[in-house]
Structure 1
Amino acid sequence: MNFVTQDKLVIIGAAGMIGSNMAQTAAMMHLTPNICLYDPFAKGLEGVWEEMRHCGFEGLNLTFTSDIAEALRDAKYIVSSGGAPRKEGMTREDLLKGNSEIAAELGRNIKKYCPDVHHVVIIFNPADITGIIALLHSGLKPSQVTTLAGLDSTRLQSELAKHFGVLQHEVTGARTYGGHGEQMAVFGSSVKVDGKPLSELIGTDKLTEEQWAELRQRVVKGGANIIKLRGRSSFQSPAQLSIEMIGAAMGGPAFRWPVGTYVSNDRYDHVMMAWETVLDRNGAHIKPIEHATDEEMKELDASYKHLQDQIDNIIKMGLIPSVDKWSELNPNIK
Structure 2
Amino acid sequence: MALRVCVTGAAGQIAYSLLYSVAKGDVFGKDQPVILTLLDIPPMMGVLEGVVMELQDCALPILQEVIATSDEREAFTDIDVAMLVGAMPRREGMERKDLLKANAKIFKSQGKSLDQYAKKTVKVVVVGNPANTNALIAMKCAPSIPKENFSCLTRLDQNRAKSQIAGKCSVPTSAVKKVTIWGNHSSTQFPDAMHAVVVKDGKDIQASEAVNDDAWLKGDFITTVQKRGAAVIAARKLSSAMSAAKAICDHVRDWVQGTADDDWVSMGVISDGNSYGVPEGLVYSFPVKLSGGKWTIVDGLAVDAFAREKMDVTAKELVEERDAAFAFIAD
TM-score under structure 2 normalisation? Answer: 0.85
- C-alpha change, 1:88 and 1:170, in structure 2 (3 Å) is farther
Output the amino acid matched with 1:301.
D
Q: For 1:225 and 1:151, locate their aligned partners in 2 and report how far apart those are by CA, in whole Å.
A: 14
- Does residue 246 of the first structure (1) align with residue 252 of the second (2)? yes
Deviation at 1:86, TM superposition (A): 4.8
TM-score under structure 1 normalisation? Answer: 0.85
Deviation at 1:22, TM superposition (A): 1.7
**Percent of aligned pairs with the same amino acid:** 23
Deviation at 1:96, TM superposition (A): 2.1
Deviation at 1:237, TM superposition (A): 1.8
- Does residue 261 of the first structure (1) align with residue 262 of the second (2)? no
Name the residue aligned to 2:166.
Answer: 161
In structure 1, runs of 5+ residues without a counterpart are 322-334
Output the amino acid matched with 1:35.
L
SS at match of 1:297: helix
SS at match of 2:73: helix
Q: For 1:54 and 1:189, locate their aligned partners in 2 and report how far apart those are by CA, in whole Å.
A: 47
Output the amino acid matched with 1:288.
D
In structure 2, runs of 5+ residues without a counterpart are none
Pairwise CA RMSD = 2.5
- Does residue 64 of the first structure (1) align with residue 75 of the second (2)? no
After superposition, the C-alpha distances for 1:79-123 in whole angstroms (9 at most, x for unaligned) are 110112356898987732212221111101112222534211111
Q: Is the 8 A contact 1:88 1:227 kept in 2?
A: no
- Does residue 114 of the first structure (1) align with residue 123 of the second (2)? no
- C-alpha change, 1:304 and 1:167, in structure 2 (3 Å) is same
Output the amino acid matched with 1:182.
S
After superposition, the C-alpha distances for 1:52-101 in whole angstroms (9 at most, x for unaligned) are 11212114213122222112112121111011235689898773221222
Q: For 1:288 and 1:154, locate their aligned partners in 2 and report how far apart those are by CA, in whole Å.
A: 22
Q: Is the 8 A contact 2:9 2:40 kept in 1?
A: yes
Q: Which moved more, 1:33-42 or 1:136-145?
A: 33-42
- C-alpha change, 1:168 and 1:320, in structure 2 (3 Å) is farther
SS at match of 1:18: helix
Count of aligned pairs = 312
Deviation at 1:181, TM superposition (A): 1.1
Name the residue aligned to 1:53.
Answer: 56
Q: Is the 8 A contact 1:146 1:284 kept in 2?
A: no
1:9 to 5, 10, 13: 5
Output the amino acid matched with 1:220.
Q
- Does residue 181 of the first structure (1) align with residue 181 of the second (2)? no
Deviation at 1:146, TM superposition (A): 0.8
Q: Is the 8 A contact 2:5 2:82 kept in 1?
A: yes
Name the residue aligned to 1:330.
Answer: none
Name the residue aligned to 2:209.
Answer: 200
Deviation at 1:258, TM superposition (A): 0.9
SS at match of 1:107: helix
Output the amino acid matched with 2:112.
R
Name the residue aligned to 2:40.
Answer: 39
2:140 to 133, 136, 141: 136
Name the residue aligned to 1:84.
Answer: 88
- C-alpha change, 1:240 and 1:210, in structure 2 (3 Å) is closer
Q: Is the 8 A contact 2:97 2:324 kept in 1?
A: no
SS at match of 2:151: strand
